[in-house]
Amino acid sequence: MEKCNVQKADGKLGVLVVGLGAVSTTFMTGVLMARKGLAKPVGSMTQYDKIRVGRGADKKYLKYNEIVPMASLDDIVFGAWDVYPANAYESAIHCEVLKEKDIEPVKDELVKIVPMKAAFDKNYAKRLEGDNVKDVKNRWDMMEQIREDIRNFKKETGVSRVVVLWAASTEVYVPVNEKVHYKLADLEAAMKADDKENIAPSMCYAYAALAEGAPFIMGAPNTTVDIPAMWEMAEKTKMPIAGKDFKTGQTLVKSGFAPIIGTRMLGLSGWFSTNILGNRDGLVLDEPANFRTKEVSKLSTLESILVPEEQPDLYTDYYHKVRINYYPPRNDNKEGWDNIDIFGWMGYPMQIKINFLCRDSILAAPLCLDLVLLSDLAARAGRWGTQRFLSFFLKSPQHDYTQDEVPVNHLFQQYVMLKNAIREMGGYEADEEID
């Protein structure tokens, strides 16, 4: 084994979350409860998973924090931005994801998490009515105000490092525009010219975070860090970024189940996915322009796992459709139906039905924790730019589409990438192949 070259996780870790809604308050409450020994961080790879290091007589299975220096739950200090002024306790109660008995024991800490004014543009989320919003001159000013918030948060809390996590609503779809999004200089010029069409508020958060030496994580399917200008910014600031959109329910099922069909050499005629959900996310996605952002993210998963060019007999003409329906009675309890039409020997048709009655925020909260801790780890390990090993947690893995790179969406290949990265950072050999 070589020496682990990762800087120690000294001091406190600030976690600044954009959006203080269902996902983020569930994440915060769970971390605070787990810290007190009153709840378990189930679903979190960083807290439970064990990775094999070494082979033969040297083989050991170790938790992540036994391989690399990880920030502990006790080190985390939370802050947030939101368009609604409610504190984390009020928001957690309002969202009705968690029972009161699971929120009350950490009420004192949650009450203190009061959201800063959000950098917000109503055209990007027409259904949100909040007025806890920054007054900005233009997109560049918006970004500068976020930078100031990050600096103030550091000063006031004394944290030594910060990670910024987007857990807010899905913005309307922003198509990638080569004239604005390919070069950092063009992006900056567009921000200064207040190009509202090409510069989403989320880009201002990402730019501000990277400029302040904070890794940025995009938990929604927005066009934000998946543009060459932002990759350039991550290189320039030597900060880690990842893909986008928390892989919680249906896409997790898809990225894990599609390999069964592909590995068993069965054919696919069609895959129809539909969802019903009733939280604020569902409300925002009820707007067609916002749904378009989500659809692009959810559709991309299958095509890189069941590839027509590799098996023309099996995957040439399948039909793939994704639908999301806003249905208020369900609140945060999302239901995902997958109707899969496959064919087998001699072309005979068969069907698979998967009905996943999931809790969106309960699945997203551990992803938030893992992405925050692993992005912080990557920064301390001197790894910057796109962290492909984090694709395990995200619906849309970052990939360089300007070079026709195909993203890895296959869950078990993504898991190998994750394990190898942890091994490497811990000074062990990255000894698993991605087949």
What's the pLDDT tens digit per position in 198-218?
Answer: 999 999 999 999 999 999 999
What's the pLDDT tens digit per position in 138-163?
Answer: 999 999 999 999 999 999 999 999 99
In a domain, 5, yes or no: no
Regarding whether 218 and 92 lie in a shared domain, the answer is yes
Regarding whether 90 and 156 lie in a shared domain, the answer is yes
Which one of 333, 359, 385 terminates a domain?
359
* Tokens coding 105: 């024991």
Q: Which helix (H) or strand (E) holds 262?
A: helix 250-263
Regarding whether 268 and 350 lie in a shared domain, the answer is yes
Regarding whether 375 and 242 lie in a shared domain, the answer is yes
The better pLDDT of the pair 354, 2 is held by 354
Q: Is the pLDDT of residue 315 over 70?
A: yes
Regarding whether 236 and 254 lie in a shared domain, the answer is no
Regarding whether 138 and 29 lie in a shared domain, the answer is yes
Question: What pLDDT, on a 0 to 100 scale, did the predictor assign at position 435?
Answer: 82
Q: Where are the beta strands (DSSP E) in 196-329?
A: 216-218, 240-246, 267-277, 319-326
> Average pLDDT for residues 278-304, to the nearest whole number?
78
* Tokens coding 421: 């990265």
**Contact criterion met (CB below 8 Å) for 1 and 428:** yes
Question: What pLDDT, on a 0 to 100 scale, did the predictor assign at position 36?
Answer: 98
Regarding whether 100 and 18 lie in a shared domain, the answer is yes
Regarding whether 265 and 138 lie in a shared domain, the answer is no
**Least confident segment among 1-10, 39-48, 206-215, 232-241:** 1-10
Regarding whether 107 and 53 lie in a shared domain, the answer is yes
The better pLDDT of the pair 407, 105 is held by 105
Taking the C-alpha atoms of residue 388 and residue 365, their distance in angstroms, rounded to an integer, is 21
Q: Is the pLDDT of residue 2 over 60?
A: no
Question: What pLDDT, on a 0 to 100 scale, did the predictor assign at position 429?
Answer: 94
Taking the C-alpha atoms of residue 255 and residue 247, their distance in angstroms, rounded to an integer, is 9
> Average pLDDT for residues 332-357, to the nearest whole number?
95
* Tokens coding 44: 């979190």
Q: Is the pLDDT of residue 1 over 60?
A: no
Give 34-63 as a 3 state SS string.
Answer: HHCCCCCCCCCHHHHCEEEECCHHHCEEEE
Question: What pLDDT, on a 0 to 100 scale, did the predictor assign at position 286?
Answer: 78
Q: How confident is the model at residue 3 (pLDDT cuts 50, 70, 90)?
A: confident
Distance of CA 166 to the CA centre of its chain: 8
Which one of 329, 359, 389 terminates a domain?
359
Question: What pLDDT, on a 0 to 100 scale, did the predictor assign at position 300?
Answer: 75
Regarding whether 176 and 91 lie in a shared domain, the answer is yes
**Least confident segment among 22-36, 319-333, 361-375:** 319-333
Q: Is the pLDDT of residue 232 over 80?
A: yes
**Pure H helices in 182-227:** 184-192, 201-211
Question: What pLDDT, on a 0 to 100 scale, did the predictor assign at position 299?
Answer: 67
Question: What pLDDT, on a 0 to 100 scale, did the predictor assign at position 298?
Answer: 67
- pLDDT above 90 coverage of the chain, percent: 86
In a domain, 337, yes or no: yes
Q: Is the pLDDT of residue 132 over 70?
A: yes
CATH code assigned at 355: 3.30.360.10
In a domain, 1, yes or no: no
**Contact criterion met (CB below 8 Å) for 221 and 170:** yes
Residue with tokens 């190998």: 416
What's the pLDDT tens digit per position in 166-197?
Answer: 999 999 999 999 999 999 999 999 999 999 99
Sign of torsion over alpha carbons 119, 121, 122, 126: negative
CATH code assigned at 46: 3.40.50.720
Question: What pLDDT, on a 0 to 100 scale, did the predictor assign at position 277?
Answer: 84
In a domain, 430, yes or no: no
Q: Please tell me the total count of domains within the chain.
A: 2
pLDDT, the chain, mean: 94
Q: Is the pLDDT of residue 294 over 90?
A: no
In a domain, 432, yes or no: no
Q: How confident is the model at residue 219 (pLDDT cuts 50, 70, 90)?
A: very high
Q: Is the pLDDT of residue 97 over 90?
A: yes
Question: What pLDDT, on a 0 to 100 scale, did the predictor assign at position 38?
Answer: 98
Which one of 304, 324, 359 terminates a domain?
359
Regarding whether 370 and 304 lie in a shared domain, the answer is no
Domain boundaries, position 283: 250-359
Regarding whether 260 and 397 lie in a shared domain, the answer is no
